[in-house]
């Protein structure tokens, strides 16, 4: 819909842009994230090693790769980790949250400006995945 065809009183929607990152992809034809104006929404982000495309062996390594993939995706969209508003995390075992907290605190060291985070138990994670996440960012 163009501005000329937008309903009265409504602006035309912002263009949608798919975000792809080298070394990170989905099996299906789905981008890593989608940006509309300043809003960036990711798809599912796993703790896969970008060199192999496979999940790392340990929860600690998966957490590091996952958060590194988050950083690379938000940067590919033109933002930075300071633009992330919320991460939703799915874990096979929520008791392993301490493994996530170490790289989380490295990525977001300032307690006054961390994004929100919610961890959900997900026993159905498959193919060696112990954790995955999605995020929302606002890139002004």
pLDDT digits (tens, 9 = 90+) for 72-129: 999 999 999 999 999 999 999 999 999 999 999 999 999 999 999 999 999 999 999 9
Provide the pLDDT confidence category of residue 6 given band limits of 50, 70 and 90: low
Asked if residue 105 lies in contact with residue 63, where contact means CB atoms within 8 angstroms, the answer is: no
Q: Does the residue 9 lie in any domain? A: no
**Count: domains in the chain:** 1
What is the pTM (predicted TM-score) of this model?
0.88
Give 30-36 contacts, CB < 8 A, sequence gap 24+: 32/69, 32/73, 32/76, 33/73, 33/74, 33/76, 33/77, 35/77, 35/78, 35/139
Supply the mean pLDDT for the chain: 91
Between CA 131 and CA 125 the distance in angstroms is: 8
d(CA 132, CA 121): 11
CATH number for the domain that contains residue 42? 3.30.1330.40
Identify the domain containing residue 21 by its residue range.
16-138
8 inside domain: no
102 within some domain? yes
Separation between Cα atoms, residue 89 and residue 53, nearest integer Å:
20
């Amino acid at each position: 819909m163009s501005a000329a065809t937008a309903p009265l009183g409504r602006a035309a929607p912002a263009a949608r842009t798919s975000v792809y990152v080298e070394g990170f992809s989905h099996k299906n034809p789905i981008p890593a994230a989608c940006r509309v104006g300043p809003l960036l929404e990711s798809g599912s982000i796993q703790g896969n090693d970008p060199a192999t495309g496979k999940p790392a062996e340990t929860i600690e390594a998966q957490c590091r790769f996952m958060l590194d993939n988050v950083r690379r995706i938000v940067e590919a969209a033109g933002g930075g980790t300071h633009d992330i508003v919320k991460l939703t995390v799915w874990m096979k075992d929520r008791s392993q949250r301490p493994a996530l907290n170490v790289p989380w605190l490295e990525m977001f060291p300032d307690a006054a400006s961390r994004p929100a985070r919610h961890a959900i138990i997900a026993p159905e994670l498959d193919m060696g995945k112990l954790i995955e996440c999605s995020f929302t960012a606002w890139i002004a």
